[in-house]
Structure 1
Amino acid sequence: MRTALATALLLGGASWLPTIALAQTAGDSASDNAAAQDVIVVTAQRREQSVLEVPIAISAIGGDSLASKGITNSAALQSAVPNLQISSPYGSTQPNFSLRGISVANEYNSNQASPVGVYLDDVYLANRTAHGMGLFDLDRVEVLRGPQGTLFGRNTTGGAINFITRAPGLHDNEGYAEVGYGNFNTWTAQAAVETTMVENELGLRLAANYIKGDGQIRNVFPGGRDGNSQDTLQGRATLRFRPGDGPLDVKIKIYGGRDRGSQAAVQGFLPARAGLGFFETNENRLGLNRTEAYGISANVAYHISDALTLTSITSRDAGKQNLQQAADGAPVDILDINWRSSYNQFSEELRLNYSNDKLSLVAGGFYGWDTVVTDNTFNIGSALGPGVNGGFFQHYRQRRSSTALFAQGDSKLADRLTLTLGARYTWDRATYRDGYAYLFAGDIGGAQTPLATTVPCAGVAGTCAYDPTARYAIDGRNRALTGRVALSYELPGGTLLYASYNRGYRSGAFNGGGYTSSAGITYIAPERVNAYEVGFKGRYGGILTLTGSAFYYDYTNQQVQDTRPGPVSFLVNAPKSEVYGAELEASARLSRMFKLSASAGYLHARYKQLTLQGTTLDGNNLPFAPEWTFQAGIDATLMDNATGKLTLSPTVAYFSRQYFSPFNAINATGTTQNNAELQQGAYAKVNVSAAFQTGRFTFKAFANNLFDRQTYAYGLDLRGADFPYNFLVPSTPRTFGGSVRVAF
Structure 2
Amino acid sequence: MAKTLFARAFAAVLFTTTSGIALAQDASPIEDVANTDGEIIVTAQRREQSLLDVPVAVTAIGGDNLAKRGISNSSQLGEAVPNLQINSPYGRTQPNFSLRGIGVANEYNSNQASPVGVYLDDVYLAPRTSHGMGLFDLDRVEVLRGPQGTLFGRNTTGGAINFITRKPDLQGTEGYAELGYGNFDTFTAQGAVEATLSPDAVGLRLAVNYAKGDGQIRNVFAGGRDPNSTDTLQGRVSLRIKPSDALDVVLRAYGGRDRGTQAGVHGLLPFRTGLDFFETNENRVGDNRTDAWGFSGNIALSLSDRLTVTSITSYDGGKQDLQQAADGSPLDILDITWQSQYRQFSQELRGNFSSDGVDFVGGLFYGWDRNITDNRFNLPLPPAGGFFQHYRQVRRSYAVFGQADIDLTPNLVLTLGARYTEDKSRYDDAYAYLFVGTIGAPDLPIATTVPCAGVAGTCAYNPAARFALADKNSALTGRVALSYTTDGGTLLYASYNRGYRAGAVNGGGYTSSSGISYIKPERVNAYELGLKGRALDRALTYAISAFYYDYTNQQLQDTRAGPVSFLVNAPKSEVYGLEVESTLRATPRLRFDAALGLLRSRYKDLTLQGTDLSGNRLPFAPEVTAQFGFSWDVLDLAGGTVTFAPNVAYSSQQWFSPFNGTNATGSAQDNSELQQGANAKVNASLSWSNDKLTVRAFANNLFDRETYGYGLDLRGAGFPYNFLVPAAPRTYGVSVKVSY
Q: Which range, TM-score by smaller chain?
A: over 0.9
Moved more, 315-324 or 564-573: 564-573
Q: 1:92: which partner in 2?
A: 92
Q: 2:27: which partner in 1?
A: none
Superposition pairs of residues 587-626 of structure 1, within 5 angstroms:
587-626=583-622
Q: 1:431: which partner in 2?
A: 426
Q: 1:499: which partner in 2?
A: 494
Q: Structure 2 residue aligned with 1:547, among 543, 550, 560?
A: 543
Aligned residue for 1:333, secondary structure, equals: coil
Q: Does residue 481 of structure 2 align to residue 482 of structure 1?
A: no
Q: Is the CA contact (8 Å cut-off) linking 2:430 and 2:467 kept in structure 1?
A: yes
Q: Is the CA contact (8 Å cut-off) linking 1:203 and 1:239 kept in structure 2?
A: yes
Q: Residue deviations 1:239-277, cap 9 Å, x none?
A: 00001x331100000000000000001000001113311
Q: Residue deviations 1:585-604, cap 9 Å, x none?
A: 00011121010010001000
Q: 1:166: which partner in 2?
A: 166
Q: Structure 2 residue aligned with 1:468, among 463, 482, 485?
A: 463
Q: Residue deviations 1:282-306, cap 9 Å, x none?
A: 1000100000000000000001111
Aligned residue for 2:445, secondary structure, equals: strand
Q: Distance in 2 between matches of 1:147 and 1:224?
A: 45
Q: Is the CA contact (8 Å cut-off) linking 2:300 and 2:310 kept in structure 1?
A: yes
Moved more, 564-573 or 99-108: 564-573
Q: Distance in 1 between matches of 2:663 and 2:473?
A: 35
Q: 2:220: which partner in 1?
A: 220
Q: 1:255: which partner in 2?
A: 254
Aligned residue for 1:419, secondary structure, equals: strand
Q: Residue deviations 1:682-708, cap 9 Å, x none?
A: 000000011101351110000000000
Q: Distance in 1 between matches of 2:267 and 2:637?
A: 55
Alpha-carbon distance change, 641 to 281 in structure 1, aligned in 2, over 3 angstroms: closer
Q: Distance in 1 between matches of 2:518 and 2:670?
A: 30
Q: 2:680: which partner in 1?
A: 684
For residue 568 of structure 1, report the CA deviation from its aligned partner. 2.6
Q: Is the CA contact (8 Å cut-off) linking 1:21 and 1:544 kept in structure 2?
A: no
CA RMSD of aligned residues (A): 1.7
For residue 16 of structure 1, report the CA deviation from its aligned partner. 3.8
Q: Structure 1 residue aligned with 2:409, among 381, 393, 414?
A: 414
Q: Structure 1 residue aligned with 2:570, among 571, 574, 579?
A: 574
Q: Is the CA contact (8 Å cut-off) linking 2:23 and 2:534 kept in structure 1?
A: no
Q: Which letter maps to 1:572?
A: V
The share of aligned pairs that are identical, in percent, is 66
Superposition pairs of residues 277-356 of structure 1, within 5 angstroms:
277-356=276-355
Q: Distance in 2 between matches of 1:32 and 1:463?
A: 63
Q: Distance in 2 between matches of 1:439 and 1:363?
A: 51
Q: Is the CA contact (8 Å cut-off) linking 2:32 and 2:62 kept in structure 1?
A: no
Q: Distance in 1 between matches of 2:559 and 2:638?
A: 66
Q: 2:28: which partner in 1?
A: none
Q: Residue deviations 1:507-562, cap 9 Å, x none?
A: 00010000001101101110000000001000112200010000000000001112
For residue 447 of structure 1, report the CA deviation from its aligned partner. 1.9
Q: Is the CA contact (8 Å cut-off) linking 1:89 and 1:729 kept in structure 2?
A: yes
Q: Is the CA contact (8 Å cut-off) linking 1:563 and 1:613 kept in structure 2?
A: no
For residue 12 of structure 1, report the CA deviation from its aligned partner. 5.4
Q: Distance in 1 between matches of 2:23 and 2:128?
A: 48
Q: Which letter maps to 2:394?
A: R
Where does the alignment leave 5 or more consecutive residues of structure 2 unmatched?
25-30
Alpha-carbon distance change, 592 to 22 in structure 1, aligned in 2, over 3 angstroms: same
Alpha-carbon distance change, 220 to 566 in structure 1, aligned in 2, over 3 angstroms: closer
Q: Is the CA contact (8 Å cut-off) linking 2:34 and 2:41 kept in structure 1?
A: no
Alpha-carbon distance change, 22 to 538 in structure 1, aligned in 2, over 3 angstroms: same
Q: 1:27: which partner in 2?
A: none
Q: Which letter maps to 2:399?
A: A
Q: Which letter maps to 1:712?
A: Y
For residue 11 of structure 1, report the CA deviation from its aligned partner. 5.1
Q: Which letter maps to 2:332?
A: D
Aligned residue for 1:196, secondary structure, equals: strand
Q: Distance in 1 between matches of 2:274 and 2:563?
A: 33
Q: Does residue 389 of structure 2 align to residue 390 of structure 1?
A: no
Q: Is the CA contact (8 Å cut-off) linking 2:231 and 2:259 kept in structure 1?
A: yes
Alpha-carbon distance change, 70 to 21 in structure 1, aligned in 2, over 3 angstroms: farther
Q: Distance in 2 between matches of 1:640 and 1:606?
A: 52
Q: Distance in 2 between matches of 1:476 and 1:645?
A: 60
Q: Is the CA contact (8 Å cut-off) linking 1:34 and 1:592 kept in structure 2?
A: no
Q: 2:114: which partner in 1?
A: 114
Aligned residue for 1:476, secondary structure, equals: strand
Q: Is the CA contact (8 Å cut-off) linking 1:530 and 1:555 kept in structure 2?
A: yes
Q: 1:369: which partner in 2?
A: 368
Aligned residue for 2:261, secondary structure, equals: coil
Superposition pairs of residues 229-268 of structure 1, within 5 angstroms:
229-243=229-243, 245-268=244-267
Q: Distance in 1 between matches of 2:690 and 2:710?
A: 42
For residue 640 of structure 1, report the CA deviation from its aligned partner. 3.2
Q: Is the CA contact (8 Å cut-off) linking 1:35 and 1:542 kept in structure 2?
A: no
Q: 2:61: which partner in 1?
A: 61
Q: 1:28: which partner in 2?
A: none
Q: Does residue 532 of structure 2 align to residue 537 of structure 1?
A: yes
Q: Which letter maps to 1:454?
A: T
Q: 2:150: which partner in 1?
A: 150
Q: 1:674: which partner in 2?
A: 670
Moved more, 694-703 or 300-309: 694-703
Q: Is the CA contact (8 Å cut-off) linking 1:485 and 1:500 kept in structure 2?
A: yes
Q: 2:195: which partner in 1?
A: 195
Q: Does residue 740 of structure 2 align to residue 741 of structure 1?
A: no
Aligned residue for 2:113, secondary structure, equals: coil
Alpha-carbon distance change, 495 to 23 in structure 1, aligned in 2, over 3 angstroms: closer
Q: Normalised by the size of structure 1, how large is the TM-score? A: 0.97
Q: Distance in 2 between matches of 1:45 and 1:434?
A: 40
Q: Which letter maps to 2:305?
A: D
Aligned residue for 2:321, secondary structure, equals: strand
For residue 491 of structure 1, report the CA deviation from its aligned partner. 1.2
Alpha-carbon distance change, 359 to 184 in structure 1, aligned in 2, over 3 angstroms: same
Moved more, 79-88 or 693-702: 693-702
Q: Which letter maps to 2:51?
A: V
Q: Is the CA contact (8 Å cut-off) linking 1:409 and 1:420 kept in structure 2?
A: yes
Q: Is the CA contact (8 Å cut-off) linking 2:308 and 2:352 kept in structure 1?
A: yes
Q: 2:437: which partner in 1?
A: 442
Q: 2:716: which partner in 1?
A: 720
Q: 2:50: which partner in 1?
A: 50
Q: Which letter maps to 2:490?
A: T
Q: Distance in 2 between matches of 1:492 and 1:122?
A: 34
Q: 1:651: which partner in 2?
A: 647
Q: Distance in 2 between matches of 1:132 and 1:38?
A: 32
For residue 720 of structure 1, report the CA deviation from its aligned partner. 1.5
Q: Distance in 2 between matches of 1:433 and 1:350?
A: 31
Q: Is the CA contact (8 Å cut-off) linking 2:23 and 2:489 kept in structure 1?
A: no
Aligned residue for 1:619, secondary structure, equals: coil
Aligned residue for 2:384, secondary structure, equals: strand
Superposition pairs of residues 697-708 of structure 1, within 5 angstroms:
697-708=693-704
Q: Structure 2 residue aligned with 1:518, among 513, 516, 532?
A: 513
Alpha-carbon distance change, 361 to 23 in structure 1, aligned in 2, over 3 angstroms: closer
Q: Which letter maps to 2:727?
A: S
For residue 8 of structure 1, report the CA deviation from its aligned partner. 5.3
